[in-house]
Amino acid sequence: DAGVTQSPTHLIKTRGQQVTLRCSPKSGHDTVSWYQQALGQGPQFIFQYYEEEERQRGNFPDRFSGHQFPNYSSELNVNALLLGDSALYLCASSLGQLNNSPLHFGNGTRLTVT
């Protein structure tokens, strides 16, 4: 039973570029959430996707966008990268949107913006 998988594991981009990160949820899960984790900090909620629609959004600019596919996998897109976007990006999946559902995290994508 595969857990949450994310790709790529590491990525280096230049300021102003665009990046796409990918996530496959745990088998049987239908909801995907994305988090940004700066070094030494807790994860910050970016947004959540359920039934291919963005259902909730954290305090992130429109440069951060996403998509969920019919097979429940998801992408996170970041445009016009800034140095401050350097972080570990975590994907978490769950069954349903209710916040009593256990979250399963992937191991993240480490993004470095130079």
Partner 1 sequence: KNQVEQSPQSLIILEGKNCTLQCNYTVSPFSNLRWYKQDTGRGPVSLTIMTFSENTKSNGRYTATLDADTKQSSLHITASQLSDSASYICVVGGGYNKLIFGAGTRLAVHP
Residues in touch with partner 1 (CB under 8 A): 4, 35, 40-45, 48, 55-56, 88, 90, 92, 97-100, 102-108, 110
Chain centre distance of CA 61 = 14
Of 39 and 83, nearer to partner 1 (C-beta) is 39
* Cβ-based neighbour number of residue 8 at 10 Å: 12
Cβ proximity to partner 1: between 56 and 114 the closer is 56
CB of 65 to partner 1, least distance (A): 20
Exposed / middle / buried, residue 100 (Cβ in 10 Å: 0-12, 13-18, 19+): exposed
Q: How far is the CB of 5 from partner 1 (least distance, A)?
A: 11
CB-wise, 4 or 19, nearer to partner 1? 4
**Contact predicate 102/3, CB 8 Å:** no
